[in-house]
Amino acid sequence: MSLTTSLYTTLSALEADQGAIAVTSNNISNVNTPGYSRQVAVLEEAPIVSFGNLQFGTGVDLASVQGVRDNVLQLRLDQQAQTQGQLNTFVAGMNEIQPVFNEAAGSGLESSISQFFNSFQQLAADPTNLGLRQSTISDGQTLAAGFNQAATTLNSQQQAADQGVVQSVSQINTLSSQIASLNGQITAATGQGQTPNSLLDQRALLVNQLSGIVDVSSITADTTGLTLTTKGGALLVTGNQSFNLTTQPNAAGFQDVYSQGADITASIQSGSLAGYLQLRDQEIPSLSSKLDTLASGIATAVNTQSTAGFDLNGAAGGNFFVPPAAGPGAALNLAVGITDPKKVAASADGTPGNNANATALANLQSQSIVSGQTPITYYSSIVFQVGNDTSNATAAQSGQQLVTQQLQDQQGAISGVSLDQEGANLVLYQNAYSAAARVAGVIASLFSTAINMGLVTTA
């Protein structure tokens, strides 16, 4: 063993400690970086050398810099992001729809429906009163306007959800292509025996973002990196290649989602894209259809009763509402068909003072004229649906938030940078570095001693 060997041993310590300090300082620098996993300097004992039957260590190696991450936990976080993304989108959409049916704040259709039928009740008490006749028409117009407004709001929310679908698809494509590009870089680096921690972190972050939008399934293969598909099997990323999703209008004029020519709209189960689809294709159509049934039920029953009576001129009564067309649009297009108050068919026998038809019109409100229910009972079931669906989704959202928070805590416990820990490491590596430097100094003085050995100094 020579002093030179000892010097190199010390040098390895200086290098390893410098590297470890670099890792620590990088950790501290990234303490607030989203998606960053803390890194650990892996120190290993250097190979030994043998002299005769003696073995000597040759110092320390900085073997690798490892990112500390739990892939299984990351997978759970991604799945959680999918559920969370769907609920967030759905709840936000429902919160836009709720005001249309907010009876507690007086902004629903209840008062218009009740007022409309009660105006016939009032007319029955004084059937020739033109003011009361006019009231039935203007209350009918208010009711029609209420239905129009509600249907318009639902339609525009449906349009907004459709926009959301298109934007989600565009975000998915952007993220897929970024992930594919990272995949390529990661594969290349891995091929050269490197551990590309920062690329892996970036990719995990992007996959998590993608999971918030669509139901991603991931498969990791050593040769190609990460392969991503939707749960339904549509390929998004494989190796350094990404596959764009596209949108095409369907029969209803809304954009369906396509993957390589196949319509995958129905197979998307979670993520915000699923939330938009749920709003656009299920919740809003269901509410719109019920609103149409209600509008159509009221208009048809009122028209039938009107035509059974007589107006103030003694002529046979006509339709009160413009007869609603079959199919969707009854609520959107509901309109009163008469403007002359004398045309209101209050009489059952053609005499002006007869009120029997007005009474019959008023009493429609307590008859099963809408899908076997009274108009108000049917309407209350719509309000219940809106409230219940929002409430259930909101409760699920809160629950999922807690789960996400817990998983993030677990992930933070594994991968988060602790300034205390880094501080301790810093002191540790600083001390080791100082000690090694001190050893180097001692070796230097030994060299000097050896070099000067046997040298005769003249006095």
Partner 1 sequence: MSSSRINPNITPDLLAGLQTAQQQLNETVLELSTGRSINSPSDNPVGTADLVLNLSAQAQNDSFQQNISDLTTRMQTADSSLASAVNVINQAITLGVSGGGSDLTTSERGSIATQLQGIQQQLVSIANTSVSGTYLFAGTLVENPPFTLNPAAAAGVTYNGNSSVTSVEIDTGQNVNVNVPGDQLFLNPSGSLLGSINQLITALQTNTGISAANVALGQASSEFEAQTVNYGTSLSQLASTGTELATDGVQLAAQESAIDGADIAQVATQFTQANVAYQTVLEAEGKILSLPNLLSFIQ
Candidate segments 151-159, 190-198, 213-221, 379-387, binder of partner 1 by CB under 8 A: 379-387
Q: Nearest 5°: phi and psi at 136?
A: -60, -40
Q: Of residues 402-421, which lie at the interface with partner 1 (CB under 8 A)?
A: 405, 408-414, 416-421
Residues 92, 106: Cα–Cα separation, whole Å: 21
Q: Which of 297, 274, 60, 44 is nearest to 169 (CA)?
A: 274
Q: Of residues 87-146, which lie at the interface with partner 1 (CB under 8 A)?
A: 94-95, 98-99, 101-105, 108, 110-111, 113-115, 117-118, 121-122, 124-126, 128-129
DSSP conformation letters of 202-226:
HHHHHHHHHHHHS-EEEEEETTTEE
Q: Do the Cβ atoms of 213 and 168 come closer than 8 Å? A: yes
Candidate segments 187-195, 245-253, 265-273, 346-354, binder of partner 1 by CB under 8 A: 346-354
- Amino acid letter at 282? Q
Structure tokens at 238: 């494989």
Q: Which of 191, 207, 274, 269 is nearest to 233 (CA)?
A: 269
Question: Of the two residues 15 and 126, which places its CB atom closer to partner 1 in the complex?
Answer: 126
Candidate segments 15-23, 208-216, 298-306, 354-362, binder of partner 1 by CB under 8 A: 354-362
Candidate segments 145-153, 247-255, 266-274, 386-394, binder of partner 1 by CB under 8 A: 386-394
User: What angle in degrees, to the nearest 10, is found between the helix axes of 375-415 and 284-308?
Assistant: 170
Cβ partners under 8 Å of residue 302, min gap 6: 320, 321, 361, 364
Q: Nearest 5°: phi and psi at 95?
A: -65, -25
For the chain, state the CA radius of gyration. 38
Q: How far is the CB of 57 from partner 1 (least distance, A)?
A: 26
Question: Of the two residues 113 and 226, which places its CB atom closer to partner 1 in the complex?
Answer: 113
Among 219, 221, 262, 424, binds partner 1 (CB under 8 A): 424
Question: Does position 185 bind partner 1 by CB under 8 A?
Answer: no
Question: Of the two residues 119 and 240, which places its CB atom closer to partner 1 in the complex?
Answer: 119
Total of chain residues touching partner 1, rule CB under 8 A: 71
Q: How far is the CB of 301 from partner 1 (least distance, A)?
A: 16
Among 42, 73, 352, 437, binds partner 1 (CB under 8 A): 352
Q: Of residues 31-70, which lie at the interface with partner 1 (CB under 8 A)?
A: 31
Describe the chain by its helix, strand, coil percentages, rounded to 5. 60, 15, 25
Question: Does position 394 bind partner 1 by CB under 8 A?
Answer: yes
Candidate segments 140-148, 225-233, 303-311, 349-357, binder of partner 1 by CB under 8 A: 349-357
Q: How far is the CB of 327 from partner 1 (least distance, A)?
A: 26
